[in-house]
Amino acid sequence: MPITDTGELDLDSFAALMTERTRIICLVHLSNALGTINPIKRIIAAAHQRGIPVLVDGAQSAPHLGVDVQDLDCDFFAFSGHKLYGPTGVGVLYGKEDLLDRMPPYQGGGDMISAVTLEKSTWAPLPSKFEAGTPMIAEVIGLSAAIQYVESLGLERIAEWEQQLLSVATERVSQISGLRIIGTAKEKAGVLGFVLDGVHPHDIGTILDDEGIAIRAGHHCAQPVMQHFGIPGTARASFGLYNTPEEIEALALALGRVGRMLA
């Protein structure tokens, strides 16, 4: 699906892209590169009118937004543990029961079968069918603790705080000469991607790192997005529940020094 110059999905093109050959639609809920919150509920409803299932990548939205999969009516929803302040290497895949029942297991192992003969196998009921072998016990316990932690704080409170940080940061860095924000959607979460005239994003990240400021730099696994904007990548500040306005001011001051040093 094409995007606009503000970093929003071009919904006018969406209907034309769905054809009789479309088997599934996959999209992010919240863009890691631009911060755009996509109108997935509207997209899901349009897809379902044509009998097309929808998989939502919620890796970014689960830690920052309140998510109700039943309200969204998505067919699948996935997110990773480490972006939710939990362990690495573990995550969650939600799927509607009727679809999961029809899907074959993708790997074999202990505890995922009901019966085995030399001629055939029958699968265990959900969710065991997809959980072959010894599960990641410690990681799942850690992920549960992380989910309980953010729920104790309140995802709505987290989202409100991060919106305040994004607003402060957007206004502050917009004052920096030669800096351009990439991704200016109306519905946006706490991601601030930007470029500085004449400075490669990796150089920005390296210099800020020397000052104890951690950002990400590069194409963020979203090269088609960067190609749309005609840039090799962005520097990206991501805000979480632990960030403060004082840290934003430190970022802005450091970026000003970067611009004067390298531009």
Q: What is the pLDDT, as a whole number, of residue 260?
A: 84
| 197-240 residue pLDDT tens | 999 999 999 999 999 999 999 999 999 999 999 999 999 999 99
The reply to whether CATH 3.40.640.10 applies to domain 11-153 is: yes
User: Is the backbone of residue 45 left (phi > 0), alpha (psi -120 to 50) or beta?
Assistant: alpha
If you ran DSSP here, which 8-state letter would residue 218 be given?
E
Through-space distance between the first and last CA atoms of the chain, rounded to whole angstroms: 35
Give the integer Cα–Cα distance in Å for 154 and 144: 15
From residue 64, alpha-carbon distances to 28, 120, 149, 163, 210 in Å are: 14, 45, 13, 10, 28
**Could you say which of 221, 230, 242, 246 is catalytic?**
221
Q: What is the pLDDT, as a whole number, of residue 99?
A: 96
Give the integer Cα–Cα distance in Å for 56 and 44: 9
Q: Does residue 26 carry a catalytic annotation?
A: no
Cβ contact 61:34 at 8 Å: no
Q: How many CB atoms lie within 10 A of CB 18?
A: 15
Cβ contact 249:172 at 8 Å: yes
| pLDDT band at residue 262 under the 50/70/90 scheme | confident
Check whether 127 has a pLDDT greater than 80: yes
Give the integer Cα–Cα distance in Å for 63 and 75: 20
| pLDDT band at residue 15 under the 50/70/90 scheme | confident
What number is the average pLDDT over the span 246-250? 97
Same fold, 11-153 and 155-262: no
Check whether 261 has a pLDDT greater than 90: no
Cβ contact 42:29 at 8 Å: no
Cβ contact 179:259 at 8 Å: yes
Task: Return the SS3 of 246.
Answer: helix
Q: Mean pLDDT in the chain?
A: 95
What number is the average pLDDT over the span 120-126? 93
Q: What is the pLDDT, as a whole number, of residue 263?
A: 63
**CATH architecture entry for 155-262:** Alpha-Beta Complex (3.90)
Question: Residue ranges per domain, the chain?
Answer: 11-153, 155-262
Handedness of CA 216, 219, 225, 229 (dihedral sign): positive
Query: Which pTM was predicted?
Result: 0.92
Q: What is the pLDDT, as a whole number, of residue 124?
A: 95
